[in-house]
Amino acid sequence: MSIREIISSVDPEKVLMPELENHFRDDSYLRPYERELKRRYGCFTKVMKMMEDHEGGLDRFTKGYEYFGHHVTPENGVIWREWAPEAEGLFLRGDFNNWERVTHPFKKLEHGKWELYLPPNADGTCPLAHQSSLKVVVVTKHGELGDRNSPWATYLKHPDNNFQYHMVFWNPPQKYVFKHPHPARPDNMRIYECHVGIASSEGKVADYKNFQHNVLPKIKELGYNTIQIMAIMEHAYYASFGYQITGFYAESSRFGTPEELKEMIDAAHGMGIFVMLDIVHSHASKNVLDGLNQFDGSNTCFFHDGPRGVHDLWDSRCFDYAQWEVMRFLLSNLRWWVEEYYFDGFRFDGVTSMLYHSKGIAHGFSGHYDEYFGMVTDTESVLYMSIANYMLHKYYPFMVTVAEDVSGMPGMCRRVEEGGQGFDYRLGMSIPDMWIKILKEMKDDDWNMSQITHTLTNRRYSERTIAYVESHDQALVGDKTVAFWLMDKEMYTNMSVTSERTVIIDRGLALHKMLRLITHSLGGEAYLNFIGNEFGHPEWLDFPRAGNNSSYHYARRQFHLPADNNLRYKSLNRFDRDMNLTEEKYRWLIFKHQYISCHHEGDKVIVYDKQSKHGALVFVFNFHPTESYADYRIGVEQPGKYKIVLDTDAREYEGHGRLDHSVDFFTYPENWSGRMHSMKVYIPSRVGIVLAKCD
């Protein structure tokens, strides 16, 4: 039975789902959609049973890389298998046979599978030399012969003067052996979103070794406990930022070898850093000669045919998740990156595109539940994501998965058994949109405190959110970094400590810190920063392409800036570090209780407190551009003595040093702003402070 037949055969009335009530208790608005939630879960359980009955179970089904692709046999031969259902024939060519096209045919098996065995050489050595180049020759229905790369290829490179990628037989005599185990998943994730190629001040493609030796120590010092690495899966076009994948099982050779990537990840684990991969299973490159597209000569191998198989905005192909071999390929791909490279988690790209038949194009989401549980939702891709998350968490207890979804699909971060898709976190994508809109369109006097607090806290109960001021999306050419929105061209002339501290620079430095602190502490249960933006990177990100004369000038991160004591970037960098270290000490990301006691529009003041077994914290922000307030009364829930533990105005952060940190704050037994107690604070203009209750 096909997956589509399974989906159409599910009767929601016969689906037992006792844990669904847990979801209804947290969100009663879901109850009218009980039938649809049961139908989805019924699809999940039926497909899982089919895997158990006909594929040897979930574990075996999701290790397709052990069967497909090339493998060295115990006697030193090579066995090679492919899935090419519409092909008339397959051959292997390469360095080993002087690139003869039809001397080494594959044997046709059942269900569109093909197999080739290469015996060892006469001297017992492997018939394929380490790092030799290869191509699969596909004979199409029309009798045409075309060179292709195996979808299961583990290493791809383009030879000199040739932009087409070749498979490289990677069989080193000494494979890298990991020294460190997977670290425990942090419950207060502070994520450093990064890209290996741009992680250098030089105008070039940086490599894994540079990242390991020069960047990982910076990340550790800054207090981030997680890295989210972009563009690792092989992509022929560097300027695609890693989102037009041509090799799903191959790490990007432009950054180094598979063993060098393993060593880099192992080094991160040795520092206690959790390592996540930006996984792209929402679409694939349209490239035919070096990608998956038309691998067997047909338009339907791996992808939908017709309009459903094309993403118009991304000019890419969309997977057909209802094909068994596509499901095997993608689920196995997830396990490959964990088993082979020791990745600890995944950030799933383009989830909104997967969820809906519209691919999210021109699809406005008002938040009404009919938009999520009607015919617009693609059950096949929902099923794939549910199985993927179930599988990853079943076999890897350390696993963390993140959904990049702008639509707000309910249940995205609830367990599959509860009617969810099983992700651990979703990205709080409305937060950076809010900040950019405010900076672009509003005068400082018009900032709306209620709008800010609403956007920062507007997330689904019991579903964790990753908050961020800006990610790679905001840093790309066509937009500006937040620092650039704040300070623009003055960053080139007035960021020296010896130059005039202008009104624009003063405002920019203050707000850069405030936006990060309020987002970090109020916007979610985890925090993310894009590489370089912690110190106010002055320029956008643009990869070498025809439109910029193939320049690397903007495809780099200027780490020399915060290292220069004569520049103000060092102070923003220092604040980012201390903000993370303060969170690590007080762990505000995991506080279960938070209460906004003040969002005063006239005063431009926001006050909230957080409480847990780790203590009590009070956050006070004054966004007013000119007014400072002495003896400003704020509400406090826990009585006692409080002290300043973080201050955006401190001189070491290029502030004015207007607050005396030796002064303690004491509460009064008077109700205020909905809290049981109150206290008075001095809060200068454009300053954010964190107060911690003393033991």
Among the listed ranges 7-11, 13-17, 340-344, 477-481, which one has the minimum average pLDDT value?
477-481
**b/e map 495-513, b = 16+ CB within 10 Å:** beeeeeeeeebbebbbbbb
> What's the pLDDT score for residue 475?
85
Identify which of 336, 341, 371 has the alpha carbon closest to the alpha carbon of residue 356: 371
User: How many whole angstroms separate alpha carbon 55 and alpha carbon 60?
Assistant: 7
Q: Which helix (H) or strand (E) holds 337?
A: helix 324-341
Strand partners, 600: 605
Q: Mean pLDDT, to the nearest integer, of 253-275?
A: 98
Q: Mean pLDDT, to the nearest integer, of 20-32?
A: 96
Q: What is the pLDDT of residues 632-663, one digit of tens each?
A: 999 999 999 999 999 999 999 999 999 999 99
Marked catalytic residue, from 82, 349, 405, 649: 349
Marked catalytic residue, from 234, 251, 320, 404: 404
Q: Is the pLDDT reported for residue 160 higher than 80?
A: no
SS3 letters for 286-317?
A: CCCCCCCCCCCCCCCCCECCHHHHEECCCCEE
Mean pLDDT (the chain, rounded): 96
Give, in degrees to the nearest 5, the angle at Cα 180 between 179 and 185.
Answer: 165
* Ordered strands of the 69-72 beta sheet: 69-72, 78-83, 113-118, 107-108
Q: Is the pLDDT reported for residue 611 higher than 90?
A: no
Q: Is the pLDDT reported for residue 441 higher than 90?
A: yes
The token duo for 456 is 């920062």
Q: Is the pLDDT reported for residue 196 higher than 80?
A: yes
Among the listed ranges 74-83, 145-154, 308-317, 367-376, which one has the minimum average pLDDT value?
367-376
Percent pLDDT > 90 in the chain is: 93
The reply to whether 349 belongs to the active site is yes
For 225: left if phi > 0, alpha if psi spans -120 to 50, otherwise beta; the answer is alpha
Name the CA radius of gyration of the chain, rounded.
27
DSSP secondary structure letter of residue 616: E
Strand partners, 427: 466
The token duo for 39 is 């139908």
> What's the pLDDT score for residue 1?
79
> What's the pLDDT score for residue 164?
87
Tokens 């597209």 belong to residue: 293
Q: Mean pLDDT, to the nearest integer, of 63-75?
A: 98
How sure is the predictor about 161, in pLDDT bands with cuts at 50, 70 and 90?
A: low
The token duo for 663 is 């002064």
User: How many whole angstroms separate alpha carbon 43 and alpha carbon 51?
Assistant: 12
Q: Is the pLDDT reported for residue 479 higher than 90?
A: no
Query: Which residues of 205-323 form beta strands (DSSP E)?
Result: 226-230, 233-234, 247-251, 274-279, 284-285, 310-311, 316-317
Q: What is the pLDDT of residues 267-321, one digit of tens each?
A: 999 999 999 999 999 999 999 999 999 999 999 999 999 999 999 999 999 999 9
DSSP secondary structure letter of residue 217: H
Q: Mean pLDDT, to the nearest integer, of 588-596?
A: 92
Domains of the chain as residue ranges with CATH = 3-54 (no CATH), 55-198+207-282 (2.60.40.10), 591-693 (2.60.40.1180)
> What's the pLDDT score for residue 76?
97
How sure is the predictor about 364, in pLDDT bands with cuts at 50, 70 and 90?
A: confident
Distance of CA 202 to the CA centre of its chain: 25
Identify which of 296, 334, 336, 300 has the alpha carbon closest to the alpha carbon of residue 317: 300
Cβ neighbour number for residue 397 with a 10 Å cutoff: 9
SS3 407: coil
**Direct distance between the N- and C-terminal alpha carbons of the chain, in angstroms, rounded to an integer:** 64
Q: What is the pLDDT of residues 173-189, one digit of tens each?
A: 999 999 999 999 999 99
Q: Mean pLDDT, to the nearest integer, of 224-249?
A: 96
The reply to whether 506 belongs to the active site is no
SS3 674: coil
> What's the pLDDT score for residue 539?
86
Q: How, if at all, do strands 605-612 and 593-600 pair?
A: antiparallel
Q: How, if at all, do strands 425-427 and 464-467 pair?
A: parallel
Q: Mean pLDDT, to the nearest integer, of 33-48?
A: 97
Contacts of 50 (CB under 8 A, 6+ apart): 1, 6
Q: What is the pLDDT of residues 85-136, one digit of tens each?
A: 999 999 999 999 999 999 999 999 999 999 999 999 999 999 999 999 999 9
User: How many whole angstroms separate alpha carbon 81 and alpha carbon 60?
Assistant: 16
